[in-house]
Amino acid sequence: MECGVTLLTDFETISDAFSWDIGKHGLRISFSWNGRRYGATYLPDVAREQGWTKEETMLSLMRKAGWGGKKEEWDKVNDMVIVRYQGRRATLGHAAWKEWRDWVEETGRDEDR
């Protein structure tokens, strides 16, 4: 078991849906379709881990937001706002967490070493 946290940084609004790098940037989108607002985000590792292209990532992100349009029409949404961002990921395995937790219990302290 492992726990991970990604600190998000360097948010930039982009006008081109392909102006980001797989494995480097996460994406946050928001748009309207048929009178309803939609929004979703993917962390920087998602597209790389899934083996998606940029177009597959955008379509999947829109589906995650709840959009039910035709897959060939994802790029026809006119008011889409796309924000790319970067992230720094930190992970902690169970053994390291257990070691820290035992130390906290032994010392009665709840702070970093």
Per-residue pLDDT of the chain (113 residues; tens, 9 = 90+): 888 888 999 999 999 999 999 999 999 999 999 889 999 999 999 999 999 999 999 999 999 999 999 999 888 888 999 999 999 988 888 888 889 889 989 988 765 54
* pLDDT score, position 4: 83
Nearest-angstrom CA–CA distance, 113 and 104: 9
The per-residue pLDDT for 111 is: 58
Residue range(s) defining the domain that contains residue 18: 2-107
Position 112 scores a pLDDT of 52
User: Own/partner pairs for 45-51, CB < 8 Å, 24+ apart?
Assistant: 45/6, 45/87, 45/89, 47/22, 47/23, 48/22, 48/23
Q: Is residue 112 in a domain?
A: no
CATH number at residue 60: 3.30.1490.150
**Residue 73: inside a domain:** yes
For the entire predicted model, the pTM comes to: 0.78
The answer to the question of residue 81 being in a domain is yes
Please indicate, yes or no, if residue 87 is contained in any of the structural domains: yes
25 to 29, 55, 77: CA distances (angstroms): 13, 14, 22
Q: Is residue 44 part of a domain?
A: yes
Alpha carbon of 11 to those of 38, 77, 87: distances in Å? 19, 22, 10
Please list the residues that pair with 84 across neighbouring strands. Answer: 12, 27
Task: Tell whether 25 is covered by a domain.
Answer: yes
The pLDDT score that the predictor gives to residue 113 is 46
In a domain, 31, yes or no: yes
Decide: 3 and 91 in contact? Cβ < 8 Å: yes
On whether residue 113 sits in a domain, the answer given is no
Q: How many domains does the chain have?
A: 1
Task: Find where tokens 């998606």 sit.
Answer: 52
